[in-house]
Amino acid sequence: MLAAIILLLLPLTAYSHDIDVTGVARVLLYEQNDNQYELSIVDQQVPPLFNIERVLPERCESLDPSRFSYRFQCQPALNVEDTISFPWSFEGVVVIAQWSDGSDVSAFFPGDGSFVDVQLSQLKAGAASIASLAVTYLILGAEHILFGIDHLLFVLGLLLLLTGFWKLIKTITAFTIAHSITLAFAVLGIFPVPNAPIEVLIALSIVFLAREVIMAQRGEFTLVHSKPWIVAFVFGLFHGFGFAGALGELGLSDADIPLALLFFNLGVEGGQVAFICALLATNALLTRLMHDLIPSMQRGLAYGLGGIAMFWFLERLPALVIA
């Protein structure tokens, strides 16, 4: 944003030198009513776009230009899946988009020597449709939990700690509620938290859980073992901030954030349930085939869990100092 503001504030007499010096062009995109748009090129030295439709998505058509801008219309409106490709050999383009809801978003897009592709997802364009938004964030949520090994190991630790169906339900529900709360707080900007301390705390949560599992295996029980949903809720708050990183990287339109949060959470829960079911099925199979070995295997899992988490803790600790 700072770079965009500096570039826009340069005096008009310097336009002919800006591209030569920086190799960066400046473009303004305005969304108007009825899915109509204006595209203005700030720098005079930039080659004109003789056929505006060639740089736009196929469903867009050009309108009569105004004195200072190109005009076009898209049915349906431009959305997060669209790309505008400028046929310029510049180092890049700074685009400032002003959407009809009053939000202003800017981003820099590097060129490849022939084209500069402007992905509207980086400019917080709206979703193509509710169905598209649902599918995108359901998949994203499921992928984030299934490929987020630290979150999966925490769930594994909970399963090793738990005995009894209702304890499982209460504990997983507490974990779900907690990470849903902090995920919403972080994405909505109510309570943002730096990523580095959260990653350290997530590693510590797994270390703590592994210790409690090992204590239970030795016959030493604490409040955590009788009411595991308490620790699940507390550490679930940290994991929710960790989930927020996935949404923060995408750039969401303000209007789409509530639904995106809902579907992302549903995707996380779907992935979490699938992982738990797979673990329970595996445990049932192993119990039937190798009943005598189950205690040793669970003990090995607990120590392995703690060892991996301690490695992550030590690996992530320097980021606190660097940050």
Residue 210 vs residue 242, higher pLDDT: 210
Specify the pLDDT at position 5: 45
Helix (H) or strand (E) holding 94: strand 92-98
- Are residues 149 and 119 located together in one domain of the fold? no
CA angle 134, 137, 142 (to 5 degrees): 120
- Radius of gyration of the CA atoms of the chain, in A: 26
Count of the separate structural domains present in the chain:
2
The reported pLDDT for the residue numbered 95 is 92
Of the candidates 209, 202, 171, the one whose C-alpha atom is nearest the C-alpha of residue 305 is: 209
If asked whether residues 39 and 139 sit together in one domain, one would say no
- Distance from C-alpha of 257 to C-alpha of 236, rounded to nearest angstrom: 21
Distance CA(46)–CA(111), nearest Å, equals: 14
287: Cβ–Cβ under 8 A, 6 or more apart, which residues? 294
Do residues 96 and 169 share a domain?
Answer: no
Cα 22–Cα 25–Cα 30 angle in degrees, nearest 5:
150
Q: Are residues 87 and 167 in the same domain?
A: no
What's the confidence (pLDDT) of residue 7? 43
139 and 281, same structural domain? yes
User: Tens digits of per-residue pLDDT, 49-80?
Assistant: 888 899 999 999 999 988 889 999 999 899 88
pLDDT of residue 127: 77
Residue 246 CA to residue 173 CA, distance in Å, equals 22
- Same domain? For 210 and 110 the reply is no
* 164-218 pLDDT per residue, tens: 778 888 888 888 899 889 888 887 778 777 888 888 999 999 999 999 889 888 8
**Three-state DSSP class for 97?**
strand
Please state the φ and ψ torsions of residue 157, each to the nearest 5 degrees.
Answer: -60, -40
Q: Are 279 and 156 in contact (CB under 8 A)?
A: yes
The pLDDT score that the predictor gives to residue 246 is 62
Query: 153 with 115, same domain?
Result: no
pLDDT of residue 287: 83
| Measured CA angle at 314 (ends 312, 319), to 5 deg | 95
pLDDT bin (cut points 50, 70, 90) of residue 241 is confident
Do 75 and 154 lie in one domain? The reply is: no
Alpha-carbon torsion (77, 48, 105, 83), positive or negative: positive
Poorest-pLDDT segment among 105-114, 130-139, 304-313: 130-139
Residue that terminates a domain, selected from 108, 123, 138? 123
Is the entire prediction scored with pTM above 0.75?
Answer: no
Q: What is the pLDDT of residue 128?
A: 67
Count other C-beta atoms under 10 Å from residue 243's C-beta.
24
Query: Between the CA of residue 125 and those of 35, 72, 249, what are the distances in Å?
Result: 13, 16, 14
Pick the last residue of a domain from 98, 123, 148.
Answer: 123
Of 31-40, 165-174, 231-240, 306-315, which gets the smallest average pLDDT?
Answer: 165-174
Boundary (domain end) residue, out of 103, 123, 143: 123
Average pLDDT, the chain: 83
3-state secondary structure (DSSP) of residue 26: strand
- Based on the domain organization, do 229 and 266 belong to the same domain? yes
Residues 36, 56 within the same domain: yes
Domain that holds residue 202: 130-322
CB 18 within 8 A of CB 10: yes
